[in-house]
Amino acid sequence: FTKPVPANKTDTWLLGERYLRRFYGMQPGLLGNPKSSDVMTEKIRAMQSFFKLEVTGKLDDNTLEVMKKARCGVPEVAEYN
């Protein structure tokens, strides 16, 4: 029922980053150390809030599970220009 979480932490982080860039308008080039990235935390929180997940700002199992599901490519929050 639950897809396994990638063992490699970098893979997990890259998956999250790719998802947030695509759907939450996270700008490339702004991110520093994953631990100190407020931008990414903020975007994860927005995503968790939209999907009614527990808002932790972290890439926990439930968040990754939603990120891995098949979906439509229209951003949730980015403004269409």
Partner 1 sequence: LFPRKPKWQNTLVTFRVTNYTPDLEKEDVDRAIHNALKVWSVVTPLKFKRLREGIADIMISFGRREHGDHNPFDGPEGLLAHAYPPGIGIGGDTHFDEDEIWTKDSHAYNLFLVAAHEFGHALGMAHSNDPGSLMYPVYSYTSGFPLSEDDIKGIQELYGPNPDHKKVKPQPEAPKKCDPELSIDAVTELRGEVLIFKDRYFWRVHPQFTEPELALIQSTWPQLPKKVNAAYENSEKDIVIIFSGIRMWALNGYTLVPGYPKYIHTLGLPKSIRKIDAAVYISDTGKTLLFTDEEYWSYNEQSGTMDHGYPRSIKDDFPGMQERDGDEVDEVDAATYKNGYLYLYHENLQYEYSYNRRKVVRMMKANDLLNC
Contact residues toward partner 1 (CB under 8 A) are 1, 23, 50-54, 62, 66, 69-74, 76, 79-80
- Least Å from the CB of residue 20 to partner 1: 14
Question: Least distance in Å: CB of 45 to partner 1?
Answer: 14
Amino acid identity, residue 55?
Answer: V
Q: How far is the CB of 79 from partner 1 (least distance, A)?
A: 5
Is the CB of 36 or the CB of 69 nearer to partner 1?
69
Which lies closer to partner 1 via its Cβ, residue 33 or residue 69? 69
C-alpha radius of gyration, the chain, whole number: 12
Following CA atoms 31, 44, 59, 16 in sequence, which dihedral angle do they give, to the nearest 10 degrees? -60
Which amino acid makes up residue 37?
S
Indicate the SS3 state at residue 36. Answer: helix
